[in-house]
Structure 1
């Protein structure tokens, strides 16, 4: 009878669960459900929170839809999820899926920590900057504005850390460097929190999770769960971004290009690479901890498929004002058809309507406009090219060549549905481009367990 690894991804809008067959590494079953967990009214503080009870209920329903005969043969469980955010809980009374001994989830999209507040925080001993939505920044905000709130909780972590703690009945939060780095005030070279810096400003150090290596086990399930036997090994939670890359990065010489809502171009750094000693806020490339002591170099553009979606919304709005009704899907298909026929365009579109993290005040531009290049085909072609040229300006093709990258693995919903975007990828980058399955965090976290845990003695990897 085959055995399986259960991979769970706790995303910003949905939960995905996959069963990966351990030997063939093929997906035997998968389910995905929207959480609909956003909380609407947050008193105008630019906060972004989600109902953790609803997230956990959706997770249970999602796993419950998988074939029970296969769940009974799950040999390990991996969990990934949305990074940066923070959930508070108190494990003194034990864990219960249906009882809220936890706070709402403050997500990575939270905006309550404005630039003035962030500038008041101590400088971190890390190569990564601290931003609003980061766990430590949010805790600092509660220290200043709602200190009594923190008194109700003894533990803090990401939502995926909580899932692992609940499955294993842990009395603490075990966090991997992938998630710790996304919280801020964590040094990835020493694998230590900035304890002295935080202690000096009265930070509640007891809320800091205990860090364990990425790919290590956190414990074993404390009871049967949807047919999965008690005592099943559970990996410490990983970051969704790293797991998505892991699902399609097949060789050190590959780079992964993912274009969905936003866009990311990632490559694995050499084993001896060390990140800078301090944050580089104006750099368009960030270095995220991967596995072991390795790093990913990541150009993460805020402008990707969302720019095309904004263009479609603009056109449908204009048409509606003119008394013409056409669905966004139909318009999108017409745009791509026109651009496919318009193989080149001398129109230039800089699509940075959302700014970029390294240049937040940049705006979009359209230049080289003439009477002959204003057709829908011209504009769509130029817009697709602009998305790729913006990403290439963040991580130039020459940098990929210098890093030894000899091919690009293309992934993401925007690339999958847009032939013109794929054509522009192949024009902008010199390396050959291959299109595999979409990057998938649930598949990635299950693959990590297959690759890193299945060949070892379970007990030797568990944190004592």
Structure 2
């Protein structure tokens, strides 16, 4: 009889669940749904939060679309999801289980996501220096706790545990006291030393940080516990892996050789390759560097140029045009407009127009803004502008990680992936122009499949 591994990705905009056949390592069933969980912010602090209950409701609806007879044959469960963000909850009442093998969110905060902007540069500079090779940025879990400690300390007193959204689901499934977290997610929070795999407890405690909220660390690819009860047909007592980072899982799903680099353009954009097995990251943060080193598996690291500006920039351009058209009384839906814009750009050769699309800044340069230069009367058609915008997205990524750096690392192939790259042929054309290495597609990065593959390969 076939057995399966369930992989779940709790992403920024959607939830995806896949069932991986353990024998063939092929996806036997999958379903994805948008969360529509973003909350509006009228506070003026650049908050970016999502409704926890809606995310868990979307997870339950997604699970209900998978074949129940296959769910009953699930051997293990893997969770991944958006990194950096933080969710707080009360250990004994963090969720409510119904008699239909389903849980809903209980006493929790809203999810403060990786896109949160409440921690200004001045605020971040006031924090103690971390004992880590990774700098701390706004949207990172520990920075957010420090912000609440200064501005709303009573808020923290309502909760006894904290983690990423994927850590929360693991804790609820297993009925854990507190939270367990892998180095992949811990490093994304800041104030975590990847060499010792320990939090900077002394540094944090000296600064008044509530260290009791810090999760307990377990190895990436290891076990967190077992399901406390049946869940959507998955039997009680099924092993659950400790939650992993969605970036690492997406890379795992499509990097087939160490000479591959993975270019992923979805909401944001990342370009990454695997460092040698004996690589050791720097002793301290390199805040001005555009390349960071993320923990991967078995004490190895990925070199990552992680841009905040990817498909979201193109989406913002479409939203801007839609708003302009509405003001002019000529409304057209975003989806239809997007397709027409791509068509215009496909029929338009490149011009001298240059768009620097960094409207969201970058973590190594948070005050950076976008620019449009080399404007001429002959290069202002929609096709010219859209192509220049797409070229700018790639130019920004390759400026963060130059082709020469890839060549020195022995990279011979770029694996292109991500929803924006899949949808936008102009982005693909510009990617193929941006790299001297061959750019290939077809091996789609899939975090949900990736986390299932990790458990399958490790026989969890």
Matched, 1:305 2:326: no
Q: After superposition, what is the alpha-carbon deviation per residue over 1:34-76, rounded to whole angstroms, capped at 9, x for unaligned? A: 2233333664443333332332222222212211000010000
Residue aligned with 1:387, SS: helix
Deviation of 1:136 after TM superposition, in Å, equals 1.3
Q: What is the aligned partner in structure 1 of residue 378 from structure 2?
A: 372
Q: What is the aligned partner in structure 2 of residue 177 from structure 1?
A: 183
Match of 1:287 among 279, 290, 293: 293
Q: What is the aligned partner in structure 2 of residue 40 from structure 1?
A: 40
Q: What is the aligned partner in structure 1 of residue 222 from structure 2?
A: 216
Deviation of 1:317 after TM superposition, in Å, equals 4.1
Aligned equivalents of 1:138 and 1:360: distance in 2? 17
Contact 2:94–2:105 (8 Å) recurs in 1: no
Deviation of 1:110 after TM superposition, in Å, equals 2.5
Aligned equivalents of 1:352 and 1:224: distance in 2? 46
Contact 1:349–1:365 (8 Å) recurs in 2: yes
Deviation of 1:172 after TM superposition, in Å, equals 2.5
Residue aligned with 1:39, SS: coil
Q: Tell me the number of residue pairs that the alignment of Structure 1 and Structure 2 aligns.
A: 454
Aligned equivalents of 2:357 and 2:316: distance in 1? 10
Match of 2:267 among 261, 281, 296: 261
Aligned equivalents of 2:376 and 2:47: distance in 1? 44
Aligned equivalents of 1:47 and 1:335: distance in 2? 31
Aligned equivalents of 2:36 and 2:328: distance in 1? 34
Q: What is the aligned partner in structure 1 of residue 99 from structure 2?
A: none
Match of 2:354 among 348, 351, 370: 348
- Relative to 1, partners in 2 of residues 1:341 and 1:184: Cα closer, same or farther, differing over 3 Å? same
Match of 1:137 among 127, 139, 143: 143
- Relative to 1, partners in 2 of residues 1:325 and 1:27: Cα closer, same or farther, differing over 3 Å? same
Aligned equivalents of 1:226 and 1:336: distance in 2? 41
Matched, 1:114 2:123: no
Where does 1:72-221 land on structure 2 (aligned, <5 Å)? 72-92=72-92, 96=96, 97-98=103-104, 100-221=106-227
Contact 2:250–2:447 (8 Å) recurs in 1: yes
Q: What is the aligned partner in structure 1 of residue 100 from structure 2?
A: none
Aligned equivalents of 2:447 and 2:307: distance in 1? 19
Deviation of 1:321 after TM superposition, in Å, equals 4.5
- Relative to 1, partners in 2 of residues 1:173 and 1:330: Cα closer, same or farther, differing over 3 Å? closer
Aligned equivalents of 2:95 and 2:426: distance in 1? 50
- Relative to 1, partners in 2 of residues 1:205 and 1:313: Cα closer, same or farther, differing over 3 Å? closer
- Relative to 1, partners in 2 of residues 1:355 and 1:205: Cα closer, same or farther, differing over 3 Å? closer
Aligned equivalents of 1:306 and 1:11: distance in 2? 15
Q: What is the aligned partner in structure 2 of residue 225 from structure 1?
A: 231
The runs of 5 or more residues in structure 1 that have no matched partner are 455-464
Deviation of 1:320 after TM superposition, in Å, equals 4.3
Q: What is the aligned partner in structure 2 of residue 457 from structure 1?
A: none
Q: After superposition, what is the alpha-carbon deviation per residue over 1:100-153, rounded to whole angstroms, capped at 9, x for unaligned? A: 233332222233322232222111011111122221122222323333333333
Aligned equivalents of 1:275 and 1:296: distance in 2? 10
Aligned equivalents of 2:118 and 2:381: distance in 1? 42
Higher mean displacement: 338-347 or 71-80: 338-347
Match of 1:363 among 335, 348, 369: 369
Aligned equivalents of 1:336 and 1:45: distance in 2? 35
- Relative to 1, partners in 2 of residues 1:303 and 1:44: Cα closer, same or farther, differing over 3 Å? closer
Aligned equivalents of 2:283 and 2:109: distance in 1? 34
Deviation of 1:157 after TM superposition, in Å, equals 1.4
Aligned equivalents of 2:167 and 2:123: distance in 1? 27
Residue aligned with 2:79, SS: strand
- Relative to 1, partners in 2 of residues 1:311 and 1:451: Cα closer, same or farther, differing over 3 Å? same
Q: After superposition, what is the alpha-carbon deviation per residue over 1:306-343, rounded to whole angstroms, capped at 9, x for unaligned? A: 23233333444444455544444444333333332333
- Relative to 1, partners in 2 of residues 1:221 and 1:243: Cα closer, same or farther, differing over 3 Å? same
Contact 2:193–2:199 (8 Å) recurs in 1: yes
The runs of 5 or more residues in structure 2 that have no matched partner are 97-102
Q: What is the aligned partner in structure 2 of residue 462 from structure 1?
A: none
Deviation of 1:202 after TM superposition, in Å, equals 2.5
Aligned equivalents of 1:347 and 1:105: distance in 2? 40
- Relative to 1, partners in 2 of residues 1:421 and 1:169: Cα closer, same or farther, differing over 3 Å? same
Q: What is the aligned partner in structure 2 of residue 459 from structure 1?
A: none
Aligned equivalents of 2:333 and 2:290: distance in 1? 36
Higher mean displacement: 300-309 or 5-14: 300-309
Matched, 1:7 2:17: no
Deviation of 1:99 after TM superposition, in Å, equals 6.0
What is the root-mean-square deviation of aligned Cα atoms in Å?
A: 2.1
TM-score norm. by structure 1 comes to: 0.92
TM-score norm. by structure 2 comes to: 0.93
Deviation of 1:281 after TM superposition, in Å, equals 1.3
